[in-house]
Structures are given as C-alpha cells and as structure tokens.
Chains A and B, each alone.
Chain A
Amino acid sequence: LAKTTQPISMDSYEGQEVNITCSHNNIATNDYITWYQQFPSQGPRFIIQGYKTKVTNEVASLFIPADRKSSTLSLPRVSLSDTAVYYCLVGRSHSGGYNKLIFGAGTRLAVHP
C-alpha cells in the first residue's frame, strides 16, 4: 500500500478555499485516492475518491495530475464546521474489496472566524 505524506496542520478563515495536498510517490496502477474527514470523538467520514484528473461532489473537489504522484483536496468556501482532521488514503478502490484502510497522520485543518 502506497505511503502518503500530508501537511500536519493548516489554518484558514471562513469563506476561503482550502487546498490540502497529499503526496503518494509510490502509487500503484490500480490504486485510487480517497479522502476521509474526522471530527473529534467521531469516526472518519468518506469525502471523495478519484483515480485521475478531477472529481467533484457536493462537498469537495479532488485534483489528480497525470503522474498521479500527488493529489489535492479542495474545499470551497470553508466554514467553522469544516474544522477537522483530513486523511488522504491510497489503495485499491472500494469495489475491489479494499476494506483495510491505512490511515496516515492526517492534516488538522483549523478554520477561524
């Protein structure tokens, strides 16, 4: 399973766009990139998953360059409630029976008023 590297922490202000970059130099051909969000004393929550180029849902966008060695989670117009830890994970897609999630240290995002 590919190792990921993310910034330990980030600060932002309400209304700003936040971009969190994850490095995964050893990503394999069948690996997907998945992001989870975790609030204190709660379980992680799936945000978005992608394989290449760009994926967008109602919560975030995920940008993946052609070499796939990094990815960027983009949160538009953050609010105080987006303060959480964000984890980048790399591995086979869910539909590949991939139920052993390997979490890194994550990025602690603090959104200020």
Chain B
Amino acid sequence: KAGVTQTPRYLIKTRGQQVTLSCSPISGHRSVSWYQQTPGQGLQFLFEYFSETQRNKGNFPGRFSGRQFSNSRSEMNVSTLELGDSALYLCASSDRGDEQFFGPGTRLTVL
C-alpha cells in the first residue's frame, strides 16, 4: 500500500495570509490526525477526523481548522498566519484506532 502523502512538501507564506495543507491517508484508513512540530514546543496534536467528523481537538486557536472528505482525504487550513505558525505539519492516518502512520510532513515558513 502507498503511505500517507502530504502536499505540498514545502511552503512559504507571509504574515496575514492563509494556507491550506492536504493529506491523503493510506487506502482504507478512515482516521486522519494532524500535528504541529516546532523546535520550541515539540510535537503537538491539532485535531483528528474520522468519517468526515472532527473527533478530537487539541489546544490551538480557531485560526487552525480542518476537514475531511468522503474519500478520507483531509485538509488543514490556517488563516491569518503568524510568524509562530512556522512549523512542520504532520498528518497521520490509522485504521479503526490502530497504530498511526505518519506522512513526511509539510514544512511551512511564515515570513
């Protein structure tokens, strides 16, 4: 099976802009989770989607949102970008709560 794919791999934006990141889970996986990784805060959970519904949510402001489509692909959106949003954004998929498989991530730089 193909692994989790994330697009784009790298992105540069300026403050105030918005960005949409995409994640395609492993075929058959219905759960998609998103994480933010920064040198200062480490790996932090953003949210999880299962069957198009948000099932878990971390402690991030409302500027961070996501959605999941009927084919389980997921998108994450960050509005009004701040410098502190520069990070590696990781997506993970799982099947019925089994181990999570992570994608390579999207490296977002906010200037």
CB distance from A80 to the nearest CB of B (A): 21
Interface size class of B (residues with CB under 8 A): 20 to 34
B1-36 CB contacts (< 8 Å) to partner A? 4, 31, 33, 35
Complexed CA–CA distance, A106 and B43 (Å): 10
CB distance from A84 to the nearest CB of B (A): 13
Contact A43 B104 (CB under 8 A): yes
Please, which residues of chain A bring their CB within 8 A of the CB of B103?
43
Secondary structure class of chain B's binding surface, majority of residues: strand
Please, which residues of chain A bring their CB within 8 A of the CB of B99?
34, 46, 49, 94
Interface residues of B (CB under 8 A from A): 4, 31, 33, 35, 42-45, 48, 50, 55-56, 58, 88, 90-92, 94, 96-105, 107
Interface residues of A (CB under 8 A from B): 34, 41-46, 49, 87, 93-106
Between A and B, 30 residue pairs with Cβ closer than 8 Å are A34-B99, A42-B102, A43-B4, A43-B91, A43-B92, A43-B102, A44-B90, A46-B99, A46-B101, A87-B43, A93-B97, A94-B94, A94-B98, A95-B96, A95-B97, A95-B98, A96-B97, A99-B33, A99-B50, A99-B56, A99-B100, A100-B33, A100-B56, A100-B58, A101-B35, A101-B92, A103-B35, A103-B42, A103-B43, A103-B44
